[in-house]
Amino acid sequence: MSVTFTVQRGSQSGKVVQGTSSRQLGRNEAYLKITHSGLCGTDEHYLHNGIVLGHEGVGIVEAVGPDVTTVKVGDRVGFGWVHKTCGRCQYCLTGLDTYCENKTEFGIHDHDVGSFASHAVWDADALHKIPDGLDSAHAAPLMCGGATVWTPFALYGIRPTDRVGIVGVGGLGHLAIQFGAKMGCKVVVFSSSESKREDAMKLGASEFHVLHADSPLEGIEPVRHMLLCGNAQPDYSRIIPLTASAGKIYNLIVSFDAPPMPMLPLMARGISIQGSAGAPRAEIRKMLDFAVQHGIKPTIMTWPLNTQGVEDAMKVLREGKMRYRGVLVAE
């Protein structure tokens, strides 16, 4: 079965350009109509590369290949950064398929498919059924943003009652606050802006502190786990004193910066840094169920899923005015 569909690509000039993609439906692939797509800051990094943009998709399955057993026509499904995993490497076999040695992923492979499109062809095993009770517009940002902040809570030993720091109240941070609060953690928010205080407290924060270059750190009880959720690497000389001895800093920021790292306090106080991005398939499905059970949803702004809508949404994101995740909605 051959299919052709409309896509929104980046370009060398940085303008979003509408085009078409054609694919032959593979034996274990599904063809889905995209109804909603989240907008992630990472899309900005690929804006000049000429690839189909978007990696937070939700849609309805319209056709499946002959070997597909995990989804069926009519299912409401989502997909994220990873297009396909091998199922055979050491990471796939131990439940860490997001690190699959042979994976196909956004930005590196399959440049002609993405979530900024009318349809997508996707490996069926990399699709996630959206549970009842979760609106598609709210499910889309969970495919990458939600998955990214879920992983530290799910895989790296964060426990109820732990003090968990969230640096940045944005697309990632506002979801991390909700997950942490619903898991019973004491969520301590650090933001460069006092204007985010009310939102952070409503989302479930226990404490809120304004953190900028000259703000005092005295009197703030250090946190056991510190999640970096901003749009740029922080000043680690100010983050480390806010992290408890034997604590952990989780870098969730997609950045090409190489900030200086004060190694002596890390060593002397036993603080470690954990990188993380996305989530294994099993964890994404647990996250979706948890979101339904606890009423967790992103705060969103919406635009039409077309060229102008993508341009307008990315402009708002670029200007720092997004509250807090952009969602593109098919017309």
SS3 state at 177 = helix
Q: Which of 238, 156, 164 is nearest to 205 (CA)?
A: 164
- pLDDT of the residue at 256: 84
> pLDDT grade, residue 175 (50/70/90)?
very high
**What CA–CA distance (Å, rounded) separates 127 from 83?**
9
pLDDT per residue as tens digits for the range 15-72: 999 999 999 999 999 999 999 999 999 999 999 999 999 999 999 999 999 999 999 9
Which region holds residue 102: left if phi is over 0, alpha if psi is between -120 and 50, else beta? alpha
Q: Is 77 a residue whose pLDDT tops 90?
A: yes
Task: Tell me, rounded to whole angstroms, the distance of Cα 171 from its chain centroid.
Answer: 8
Other residues' Cβ atoms within 10 Å of the Cβ of residue 131: 14
Q: Which CATH number fits domain 147-275: 3.40.50.720, 3.30.505.50, 3.30.365.10, 3.40.50.300?
A: 3.40.50.720
Radius of gyration of the chain from its Cα atoms, rounded to whole angstroms: 20
| Average pLDDT in the chain | 97
Query: Residues in the chain, how many?
Result: 331
User: Given this model, what pLDDT does residue 163 score?
Assistant: 99
pTM of the model: 0.97
Say whether 182 sits in a helix, a strand or coil. helix
* pLDDT grade for 320, boundaries at 50, 70 and 90: very high
Instruction: Specify burial of residue 220 (Cβ count, 10 A radius: 0-12, 13-18, 19+).
Output: middle
CATH of domain 2-143+280-329: 3.90.180.10
Q: 155: which residues sit within 8 A by CB, 6+ positions away?
A: 283
What residues does 254 pair with on adjacent strands?
Answer: none
Indicate the domain borders of the chain. Answer: 2-143+280-329, 147-275
Q: What would the pLDDT profile of 226-279 be if each residue is shown by its tens digit?
A: 999 999 999 999 999 999 999 999 999 988 888 889 999 999 999 999 999 999
Give CA–CA dist 188/203, Å, rounded: 12
